[in-house]
């Protein structure tokens, strides 16, 4: 094992005088923290005419303030703020690409060492004392090459999934036209005329339990929408769930749940085998659609830029993003004929099968990478 200070020079960032910041390209590119990071290289948004701490081209940039441990590579000489540190690797003893992978496996450890009540951060001492395995440099390069290959395959699978999502959106536009200007002159109705818009019955903390039927909070729903998985921490008793179901207060297959706080308007179509209850106020519930309306069409409508403009316009003047039941009821919805909706559904079904195959491959690759990281770095 070797300490980080033994294999690279550590340059902690520092915020220069704000009067030296500019957007005119005067001075060096200025990266303040993780917010400037891209996938590999940071994006230049600001320059500094009198930099105080300078990172070299090809230095590893590491975020030292929350979120701690994110990595990028400096693709030019640059000024770094106090949210970053620059690592100049001694490549006689450590391959830079090896250190990149080793540090990417240290994110949880570094975050656990963060201090501060508002924004957690790590200092130079913590970073300097971070240890990584240091095999002979030829072995380091072999390890890095293997991890690079797996990482590249993961990135390609993710790109394939992103491309398929874009294909679905393009097909939506092709069949239905622009949802903002209604280029195909479909009939338009407010959401309140198309379906019932509501939420759940309030579940008080005293009604929650550690087992029973999962109780989804908005964070659970967001996880399910974005990752396809949910690990609930809260439950309601089986008896309470049955009571709510008898009262017609439990979503049925085909109903839509919508995020009403945070990232607004993300949709989840309830599946046949789903068994849950959910948090009122944070999550809205669409049900009882009029004839000729499919939930799949409605859920994808929420992803279209033109439709999302309606949601954004409703937030004007608000300090906290919120999509209320009243707002949802007022959303203007264009109503294509059922044949067009079914045509779109058929395309989505075929595309989702392809996505499932790719997702399984992606999951296997991510599992492989985790196993390799454990083997190489512990």
Per-domain boundaries in the chain: 2-133, 135-177+337-378, 187-335
Higher model confidence: residue 132 or residue 118? 132
Q: Are 376 and 133 in contact (CB under 8 A)?
A: yes
What is the C-alpha R_g of the chain?
25
**pLDDT at residue 289, as a whole number:** 96
Residue 20 Cα distances to 49, 59, 352, angstroms = 5, 23, 51
Q: Is 158 helix (H, G, I), strand (E, B) or coil?
A: helix
Whether the domain at 2-133 and the domain at 187-335 fall into the same CATH topology: yes
**pLDDT at residue 118, as a whole number:** 81
Q: 2-133 has which fold?
A: Adenine-n6-DNA-methyltransferase TaqI; Chain A, domain 2 (3.90.220)
Q: 135-177+337-378 has which fold?
A: Helix Hairpins (1.10.287)
**pLDDT at residue 228, as a whole number:** 87
Mean pLDDT of 189-193: 97
Percent of the chain with pLDDT over 90: 93
**pLDDT at residue 19, as a whole number:** 93
pLDDT tens, position by position, 269-319: 999 999 999 999 899 999 999 999 999 999 999 999 999 999 999 987 777
Dihedral Cα 329, 330, 335, 338, nearest 10 deg: 0
What would the CATH number be for the domain defined by 187-335? 3.90.220.20
């Amino acid at each position: 094992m070797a300490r980080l200070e033994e294999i690279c020079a550590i340059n902690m960032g520092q915020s220069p005088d704000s009067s030296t910041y500019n957007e005119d390209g005067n001075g060096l590119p200025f990266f303040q923290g993780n917010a400037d990071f891209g996938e590999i290289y940071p994006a230049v948004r600001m320059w500094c005419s009198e930099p105080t701490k300078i990172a070299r081209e090809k230095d590893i940039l590491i975020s030292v303030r929350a979120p701690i441990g994110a990595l990028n590579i400096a693709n030019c000489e640059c000024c770094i703020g106090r949210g970053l540190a620059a690592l100049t690797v001694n490549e006689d003893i450590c391959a830079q690409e090896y250190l990149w992978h080793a540090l990417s496996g240290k994110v949880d450890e570094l975050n656990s060492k963060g201090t501060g009540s508002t924004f957690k951060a790590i200092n130079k001492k913590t970073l300097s004392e971070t240890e990584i395995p240091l095999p002979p440099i030829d072995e380091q390069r072999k390890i890095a090459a293997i991890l690079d290959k797996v990482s590249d395959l993961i990135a390609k699978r993710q790109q394939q999934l992103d491309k398929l999502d874009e294909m679905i959106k393009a097909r939506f536009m092709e069949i239905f036209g622009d949802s903002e200007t209604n280029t195909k002159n479909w009939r338009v109705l407010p959401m309140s005329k198309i379906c019932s818009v509501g939420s759940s019955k309030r579940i008080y903390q005293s009604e929650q339990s550690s087992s029973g039927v999962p109780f989804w909070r908005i964070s659970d729903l967001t996880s399910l929408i974005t990752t396809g998985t949910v690990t609930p921490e809260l439950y309601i008793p089986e008896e309470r769930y049955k009571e709510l179901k008898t009262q017609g207060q439990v979503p049925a297959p085909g109903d839509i749940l919508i995020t009403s706080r945070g990232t607004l308007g993300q949709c989840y179509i309830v599946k046949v085998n789903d068994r849950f209850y959910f948090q009122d106020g944070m999550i809205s519930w669409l049900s009882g659609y009029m004839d000729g309306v499919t939930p799949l069409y409605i859920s994808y409508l929420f992803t279209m830029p033109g439709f999302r403009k309606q949601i954004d316009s409703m937030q004007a003047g608000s300090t906290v993003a919120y999509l209320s039941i009243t707002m949802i009821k007022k959303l203007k919805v264009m109503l294509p004929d059922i044949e067009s909706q079914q045509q779109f559904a058929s395309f989505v079904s075929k595309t989702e099968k392809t996505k499932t195959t790719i997702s399984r491959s992606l999951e296997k690759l991510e599992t492989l990478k985790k196993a390799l990281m454990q083997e190489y770095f512990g």
